[in-house]
Amino acid sequence: MRIFNLDEVYSVVCNSESTRSGFRHIAVLHKNGYEIAREKALYQNRTWEAYEFETVLLKIVDGFMAQCDKQKYREVVKNFR
């Protein structure tokens, strides 16, 4: 489990789980400690991410953040390396 703090309001908790055919990354978006969204990314063997959980973090930002905040949070996610 790894926790990514986007700012003082939003955080994302990420987990990795094994599946029958590979593995998956699961991200849970929290606002002030309350769960507001979930997203997952499925993989068969390996990922080509710059860092672990990058893809699922970008999916949750793109899917659940307000349009005006997306670019701000995408920059935050890219700087987690």
Bridge-partner residues for 5, per DSSP? 11
Q: How many residues does the chain have?
A: 81
Closest C-alpha to 10, from 78, 79, 67, 76: 76
Instruction: Encode pLDDT of 12-70 as tens digits.
Output: 999 999 999 899 999 999 999 999 999 999 998 877 888 999 999 999 999 998 888 89
Q: What is the domain extent for residue 24?
A: 2-78
Q: What is the DSSP letter of 13?
A: E
Structural domains counted in the chain: 1
Q: Is the pLDDT of residue 76 over 90?
A: yes
Q: What is the pLDDT of residue 50?
A: 87
